[in-house]
Amino acid sequence: ETGVTQSPTHLIKTRGQQVTLRCSSQSGHNTVSWYQQALGQGPQFIFQYYREEENGRGNFPPRFSGLQFPNYSSELNVNALELDDSALYLCASSQDRRNEKLFFGSGTQLSVL
Amino acid sequence: GESVGLHLPTLSVQEGDNSIINCAYSNSASDYFIWYKQESGKGPQFIIDIRSNMDKRQGQRVTVLLNKTVKHLSLQIAATQPGDSAVYFCAEMGRAGNMLTFGGGTRLMVKP
């Protein structure tokens, strides 16, 4: 088990709503990354936060946004939810911005109806 | 764009046998590779990693082999156990990057 915790574990929303997912990083880790994992696929990089600033972004629209707090915990916000946003959202922490050897949480399963 | 992919979506092995999971990558600039194991309902769990200046790296019951000539990565699991049943992902990162690119995954099923 890693020290990365995510909440909630499951969430059901309707199309057009907004959602906030939360993540606490492993102790000693200052970098947090968010990944989206669709059913039967590998995780896809959304973005990374290092020292409270976005430090890299994948191919996701601006309605996916995030925050990192001074204690290195993080939030992922998704506005105007679409059906295709249904996925497992994974948070991962690492010791540096290079982002190797990520430690993942168990994820938040988001269902958009 | 550049991607990482796997040859076999499902691998079924007998308990006690050795397992080999393969992965092809296309980005010649990748210099870091990593294998993750993901069990149902859990996040990916780190298994082993390797840098491009190495050809082989061993862990506990696992070995990763890197062939840069043909851009191929493999994970070998010795004496496969039922607890090894999971989906295995390879991922790679470029020299200047901070983003892991994951392949599509291989499901390993261990028969008792």
Q: What 8-state DSSP symbol labels residue B86?
A: E
Minimal C-alpha gap between B42 and chain A (Å)? 5
Confidence at residue B20, expressed as pLDDT on a 0 to 100 scale: 97
Q: What is the pLDDT of residue B109?
A: 95
| pLDDT-above-70 percentage for chain A | 97
CA geometry: angle A94, B63, B35, nearest 5 deg: 35
Which residue of chain B comes nearest to A106, CA vs CA? B43
Rounded to the nearest angstrom, the gap between the alpha carbon of residue A73 and the centroid of all alpha carbons in its chain is: 11
Which of A45, A101, A107 lies closest to B46 in CB terms?
A101
Q: Which pair of structure tokens corresponds to residue A63?
A: 């309605």
CA B69 vs CA B24, B33, B66, B97: distances in Å: 11, 15, 9, 21
How sure is the predictor about B102, in pLDDT bands with cuts at 50, 70 and 90? very high
Segment B3-20 shows an average pLDDT of 79
Decide: B49 and A100 in contact? Cβ < 8 Å. yes
User: Cβ of B71: how many Cβ atoms within 10 Å?
Assistant: 16
CB contact set of B95 (below 8 Å; sequence gap of 6+) = B29, B30, B31
Chain B residue nearest residue A58, CA to CA: B99
Mean pLDDT of B35-55: 94
State the DSSP code for B49.
E
Cβ atoms of B64 and B33 within 8 Å: the answer is yes
Local confidence band at A1 (pLDDT 50, 70, 90 cut-offs): low
Peptide bond preceding A61 in cis form (omega within 30 of 0): no
How far is C-alpha B78 from the geometric centre of its chain's CA atoms? 14
Q: Token pair of A90, please?
A: 């994974």
* Contacts A100 to B, Cβ<8 Å: 32, 34, 49, 93
- Residue B87 tokens read as 């989906």
Minimum distance, in Å, between the CA of residue B16 and any CA atom of chain A: 25
pLDDT for A34-87, tens place per residue? 999 998 899 999 999 998 999 899 999 999 999 999 999 999 999 999 999 999
A42 to chain B, minimum CA–CA distance in Å? 5
Please give the Cα distance from A32 to A92 (Å, whole number). Answer: 6
C-beta atoms of A104 and B101 within 8 A: no
Contact between B35 and B47 (Cβ < 8 Å): yes
pLDDT for the residue numbered A2: 67
Chain A positions touching B41 (Cβ under 8 A) are 106
Which of B34, B45, B89 lies nearest to residue A42, judging by beta carbons? B89
SS3 of B75, please? strand
Do A42 and B98 make contact, defined as CB atoms within 8 angstroms? no
Q: Does A84 touch chain B (CB under 8 A)?
A: no
Query: What pLDDT is recorded for position B85?
Result: 96
Residue B5 has pLDDT above 70, yes or no: no
- At residue A86, the pLDDT reads 97
Q: What is the pLDDT of residue A39?
A: 87
Of A25-29, A48-52, A72-76, B81-85, the one with minimum mean pLDDT is A25-29
| pLDDT reading at B8 higher than 80 | no
Contact B25, B4 (CB under 8 A): yes
Helix/strand/coil for A7 = strand
